Structure 1
Amino acid sequence: MKRSLYVIMLLWIIWFSISCDNQMRKQDPEMQKPQPVDLVYPLLDAANSRWFFFNSASRPFGMVNLSPDTQKEGTWGSGYRYDTDTVQGFSHIHAWQLSGVEVMPVAFEDGESASIFKDHSSKFDHAKEEIQPGYHMLMLERYGIKTELTSTIRVGFHRYTFVDKKEAGVLFNLEGQLGPSKIIKGDLKQFGTREIQGSLVNAPTRRRPKEFQIYFHVQFNQDIDRLLKPSDQQLNKVIVTFKDISDEPLLMKVGLSYISSDQAAKNLDAELAHWNFDQIVAESHSQWNDMLSRIKIEGGDEKEQRRFYTDLWHALQGRRIISDADGHYPDYTGKERQIKRIPLDDHGKPKFNHYNSDAFWGAQWTLNTLWHLVYPEISEEFVNSLLLYYKDGGLIPRGPSGGNYTNVMTGASSTPFIVSAYQKGIREYDVDLAYEGIKKNHMPGGMMGRSGYEHLSAMGGGLEHYIKKGYVPYPLPEGDFGYHQDGASLTLEYAYQDWTLAQLAKALGKEEDYTYFLKRSENYKNQYNPESGWMRPKDIDGRWKVPFDPFQYEHGFNESNGAQSSWFVPHDQPGLALLMGGKAIAAERLNSLFEKASELNFTAGTSHDRELHPEFTRIPVNYGNQPSIQTAFIFNHLDHPYLTQLWSRQVAEKAFGGLSPHTGYNGDEDQGLMGSLAVLFKIGLFQMNGGTEEDPVYEIGSPLFDKVTLHLNPDYYPGERFTILARNNDSHKPYIQSASLNGKTLSTYYFRHSEIINGGELLLDMGEEPNQHWGLLGGKD
């Protein structure tokens, strides 16, 4: 009785708050404007979707990412592909190398269930579909069912309205290929009159080397009639049926856990104790709006504003929580799975969440800047999660999946992320342990020694050669161990990451390490070939690759060509320019590459797999993938800031300006990386070295909007807000004429982290013609 009264009182308070908020909106014209969450366009690039890319019924970083799947075995695992008009099912997990708990509401006459077990798909029409952050609705034409989806962090919430009162139920598909994983060992059983529990396993993949167990606990708002199974025992599917579908919709709550079915039930009870579907939609809407409202934009047209908040929305997606509400999590880093628990705070709550994540490859130019500045609490959680893997498995990962290492991509990409967090004062973790783990990754046996998805050794990264010879040879004489064994790119990547580690060593007073890794960071020079004027692969005996074509894709360069990767020296642009003959020559050369790339809108096609197409593979600057996304800001370091302003504005408008299902991120958004980059370009801020030096530098580009207000987290930064004003700004006026910071003239192209976090205002006067003198005084280089 007490619990019932409590729930009734809680619902009344929520209803009263919503009513008051609605009344205020009617009275306040400012509040009647579209909120950031209302501007999000979830269908962006959905025609080129990868398994973890599309989002609808999900929360920021939620374990549950519930959405329809139109392709379950297509390119990159697919998932929701806009141009496919058939729903194969609704699955709850769309994560890096993880999938699971596929369901499908069905309705049928006697005798029709056999055909449903063989094929339960249904056509649908986009005209009868509604998608917004935290909610997805569509009509299943085959069954006449209105399907609505929403979620909490760990619970999927479904509402099914049946048009025809046939026998109805929910099909659970417990087997078969689902995105990146083959689902095996599925099981389901009934508890009481309205509950079921079950589990399934994600079989190993080339990228995730171990099986991974998923558990679920399901509650319905109506009594179960029976569990219907197919006569064909080769089909592991179950239809949970309901004999008399009432006039009220069928509601279903699906709690997830990677620990046990009982833990899934606990997650469900902790996050969704009631049956108010609309309330959860409203709460999800509000949570997203709060996150997106950290950045307020003014100016630009509606399309530009919608694209901006869609970019920001994607920056908070993809990397998924794997720990339960009470802090339990699965550790697969050893020989056998272990169940462990995150440390609890004084209130008995987990101090942070544990995460599944794609690589931090390219995060130095994306997540490092956006998360650390605008969402520092998220950055701190991720650092703690990375260190938890180190405690459990002995290495800081560069992209974990299923509680274990995948060794996705190359190098030690977590190093700049952690170093940048430390340099910006985000330090609620064991700093000494972090340094220990980072340093281990930069030495033989660590992450640098492993090529992409190399699980059984640490040879494919060529680290020993890098240390001994000063470069990674191509081809690697030891042979093939994994993916991405392209020596020239590895040399450049290791040199930069060594520099970032040196900065942390310096900050912690470790002078010997600082000197050692700073010296190693100069190894990029050994990869430069003066004769060709490009970074160029060379073999174990020091012979340069012959024949050599700087526009040939890969063959020594990871997911790039030599023209793109030759500029990958984030820590020493003046040194690179000196190799190329000086700043003026380097600037002229890079500018010509941008002029060529602009003809293809700075991307290698509209989907990731098209990078291998002859028409796109030779592009000299590619903003559809990570290796060359810093290049527009290199001009700042070559005494040509006005070219940074020109090209960064054009990239923002052309590469990140579309708003349709068929364009967006070239099909390679990589869990927030490219969304973050687009946001940074449009607000006019960037960090060339990933913000890893002492009191990190923010470089100035060309803001797309007239006014940008960054609301700072007061738990981390003392300033309330930082504002960027661009006066006289429009698409024909990308050039900065003059600037001031907090009322004082600013003659440099940058300012410091200590200045932005104390709040204030950056004022930029824009114009049609470049001011070739602005930004040159007191340049950091």
Structure 2
Amino acid sequence: MKRIFWTTCLLVIGIANSIAGPDNIAPQATVSASTTLDSRHSPASATDGLIGIHDKGEWACEGQTIMWGYIRYPWIQLDWDSSQSIDKIILYDRPNLEEHTAGGTLFFSDGSQVAVNSIPNNGRAKVISFEAREVEWVRFLVTDGVGSKLGLSEFEVYPSYRSYTDLTSWVNPYIETTRGRYFYFTPGSTPFGMIASAPHTRNKNQWGGGYNYNSSEILGFGQLHGWMLSGIEIMPTVGDIDPTQWQDGWKSAFSHDSEIAQPGYYRVFLEDYNIWVEQTTTPRVSMYRFRYTEDSETNILTNLGGYLGSTTMADAEVQRVSSTEFEGSFNSAGRLWGGPNNIKVFFVIKFDKSFDAFNGWQGGKNLSNIDVLKEVSHLVRRDSATYGEITQSYWDAETAGVSANFKVKAGEAIHMKISISFTSIENARNNMKSECDHWDFEKVREDARAKWNDI
């Protein structure tokens, strides 16, 4: 069965545009540069995974200019211990708008080179794709810029298929995401796991709902994507957000350039909030890491009411347990295509940092400093015209949920765990205790990858 499963995956992926793939290999390289501004801006900082944070995790050169403004442009180089086959590099400029690395040239150890132009001046991704080549080192020479302390926030390098070392590297989760069903795209999952997490870019029925690659906004991140089963939509935000406006009030733009989707792992940058979101999972616990690029006040929303993809969340109940935890349940109702009419989902949600405030909302009303939220939903039928006939499209209900508020510093990360059960809150808590009683995000990610490779 294992051989048949993976052979099918490889054949399907062979006809798809390979957008997803293996991990960035830049952290495995030795990094050097022509000059370094100071110890806080060392060359190694350009491969540390901290992206778009001013004066943190950046390489910057010791600026050298002459009287008519000519800059002695710097270079940065990555050397590996062995030959690597690569076909994509992503560069991120320093987010400091006064210093702009605008363009340059990539030189490779095989003697080839690639010009790089129009690097964004806000720390956003510049993707450079090229024919696969075998290299032992790559150097980026800056050839255009504004300011003297030029550098990079991050230098990512991705291997070609020739260097894939495990089966999951061949998997492309984006297949069918321009027309597929609500539950097709679920990178935040394990084989046969209860958790199946993914971002939502369109909120509609089974066909075309959930994640659609052609969309440019993320509406939230759902933890359940099954046949007629959905729920627990979360969204990290910054600033004044009115959650009673539902997804229109908290959605964010994003770009595929900074997105990674792999079996058991997902990463994206929320452009409206300047937050990096990463998600991984155990079979029954979803784990998030939110990395903030600016000093902020963040509200991490948990939406438990309203239509979501294939069913409707209703009758939400939430109890605050402590300054880092809350628990509750909701009904996944309004199933139009078979199965039980209603499924009760229980959950426990924890953070690794105490929240400063715990608020909520129900319908059009915001609720401040709550300990309990209890909603009684009234499902409303929504119809649509199909070939001239009026048919039911879905059941709707008022939005309802809670918001955990935190004050964060630039570069700070907040971790969030969501465990579920279909039987009780106690069992949801036991699931978290037995599967994920720690905050080691990378361990959970590697365990999820191992489960997929061993299927």
Shorter-chain TM-score bucket reads 0.5 to 0.7
2:131 matched residue in structure 1:
none
Going from structure 1 to structure 2, the CA distance change for 1:203 and 1:248 (only over 3 Å counts) comes to same
2:421 matched residue in structure 1:
257
In the TM superposition, what are the counterparts of 1:182-201 in structure 2 within 5 Å? Answer: 182-201=312-331
Structure 1 counterpart SS, 2:403: strand
Structure 1 residue 112, shift from structure 2 partner = 6.1
Q: Distance in 1 between matches of 2:438 and 2:269?
A: 25
Q: Percent same amino acid at aligned positions?
A: 29
Structure 1 counterpart SS, 2:445: helix
2:439 matched residue in structure 1:
275
2:237 matched residue in structure 1:
106
Q: Distance in 2 between matches of 1:183 and 1:209?
A: 14
Structure 1 residue 290, shift from structure 2 partner = 2.1
In the TM superposition, what are the counterparts of 1:149-188 in structure 2 within 5 Å? Answer: 149-188=279-318
Q: Distance in 2 between matches of 1:173 and 1:125?
A: 24
Structure 1 residue 74, shift from structure 2 partner = 4.1
Structure 2 counterpart SS, 1:264: helix
Q: Distance in 2 between matches of 1:266 and 1:98?
A: 22
Map Cα deviations across residues 262-291 of structure 1 (whole Å, 9 max, x no partner). Answer: 211110010001111111111111221222
Structure 2 counterpart SS, 1:282: helix
Map Cα deviations across residues 101-152 of structure 1 (whole Å, 9 max, x no partner). Answer: 111111114x766767762111111111111111110111111111101000
Q: Distance in 2 between matches of 1:162 and 1:195?
A: 21
Q: Is the Cα contact below 8 Å between 1:117 and 1:235 reproduced in 2?
A: no
Structure 1 residue 244, shift from structure 2 partner = 4.2
Aligned amino acid, residue 445 of structure 2:
V
Going from structure 1 to structure 2, the CA distance change for 1:113 and 1:174 (only over 3 Å counts) comes to closer
Structure 1 counterpart SS, 2:454: helix
Structure 1 counterpart SS, 2:221: strand
Map Cα deviations across residues 629-682 of structure 1 (whole Å, 9 max, x no partner). Answer: xxxxxxxxxxxxxxxxxxxxxxxxxxxxxxxxxxxxxxxxxxxxxxxxxxxxxx
Q: Distance in 1 between matches of 2:246 and 2:407?
A: 17
| The structure with more helix, counted as a fraction of residues | 1
Q: Is the Cα contact below 8 Å between 1:76 and 1:180 reproduced in 2?
A: no
Aligned amino acid, residue 161 of structure 1:
R
Going from structure 1 to structure 2, the CA distance change for 1:28 and 1:267 (only over 3 Å counts) comes to farther
Q: Is the Cα contact below 8 Å between 1:172 and 1:237 reproduced in 2?
A: yes
Structure 1 residue 75, shift from structure 2 partner = 5.0
Q: Distance in 2 between matches of 1:190 and 1:117?
A: 24
Q: Distance in 1 between matches of 2:359 and 2:228?
A: 31
Q: Distance in 1 between matches of 2:261 and 2:248?
A: 29
For the pair shown, the structure with the greater C-alpha radius of gyration is: 1
Q: Distance in 2 between matches of 1:189 and 1:85?
A: 35
1:54 matched residue in structure 2:
185
Q: Is the Cα contact below 8 Å between 1:204 and 1:212 reproduced in 2?
A: no
1:217 matched residue in structure 2:
348
Going from structure 1 to structure 2, the CA distance change for 1:27 and 1:82 (only over 3 Å counts) comes to closer
Does 2:454 correspond to 1:287?
A: no
1:119 matched residue in structure 2:
249
| The structure with more strand, counted as a fraction of residues | 2
Going from structure 1 to structure 2, the CA distance change for 1:119 and 1:208 (only over 3 Å counts) comes to farther
Map Cα deviations across residues 400-452 of structure 1 (whole Å, 9 max, x no partner). Answer: xxxxxxxxxxxxxxxxxxxxxxxxxxxxxxxxxxxxxxxxxxxxxxxxxxxxx
1:142 matched residue in structure 2:
272
Structure 1 residue 243, shift from structure 2 partner = 3.2
2:388 matched residue in structure 1:
none
Structure 2 counterpart SS, 1:190: strand
Q: Is the Cα contact below 8 Å between 1:76 and 1:179 reproduced in 2?
A: no
Structure 1 residue 76, shift from structure 2 partner = 2.5
Unaligned runs of 5+ in 2: 1-27, 29-79, 85-161, 366-397
Aligned amino acid, residue 401 of structure 2:
K
Q: Distance in 1 between matches of 2:220 and 2:331?
A: 18
Q: Is the Cα contact below 8 Å between 2:190 and 2:448 reproduced in 1?
A: yes
Structure 1 residue 42, shift from structure 2 partner = 1.1
Q: Is the Cα contact below 8 Å between 1:69 and 1:79 reproduced in 2?
A: yes
1:406 matched residue in structure 2:
none
Does 2:357 correspond to 1:226?
A: yes
Considering only aligned residues, what root-mean-square deviation do their CA atoms show, in Å?
Answer: 2.7
Going from structure 1 to structure 2, the CA distance change for 1:75 and 1:255 (only over 3 Å counts) comes to closer
Task: Please give the TM-score of this superposition, normalised by the length of structure 2.
Answer: 0.55
In the TM superposition, what are the counterparts of 1:402-413 in structure 2 within 5 Å? Answer: none
Q: Distance in 2 between matches of 1:94 and 1:150?
A: 15
Going from structure 1 to structure 2, the CA distance change for 1:247 and 1:84 (only over 3 Å counts) comes to closer
Going from structure 1 to structure 2, the CA distance change for 1:166 and 1:86 (only over 3 Å counts) comes to same
Going from structure 1 to structure 2, the CA distance change for 1:118 and 1:98 (only over 3 Å counts) comes to same
Aligned amino acid, residue 299 of structure 2:
G
Structure 1 residue 46, shift from structure 2 partner = 1.1
Q: Distance in 1 between matches of 2:409 and 2:320?
A: 19
2:40 matched residue in structure 1:
none
Structure 1 residue 86, shift from structure 2 partner = 1.2
Q: Distance in 2 between matches of 1:290 and 1:87?
A: 31
Aligned amino acid, residue 180 of structure 2:
S
Map Cα deviations across residues 347-398 of structure 1 (whole Å, 9 max, x no partner). Answer: xxxxxxxxxxxxxxxxxxxxxxxxxxxxxxxxxxxxxxxxxxxxxxxxxxxx
Q: Is the Cα contact below 8 Å between 2:358 and 2:403 reproduced in 1?
A: yes
Higher relative CO (Cα under 8 Å, sequence separation at least 6) belongs to 2
Structure 1 residue 248, shift from structure 2 partner = 2.6
1:673 matched residue in structure 2:
none
Aligned amino acid, residue 286 of structure 1:
A
2:223 matched residue in structure 1:
92
Q: Is the Cα contact below 8 Å between 2:176 and 2:184 reproduced in 1?
A: no
Aligned amino acid, residue 258 of structure 1:
F
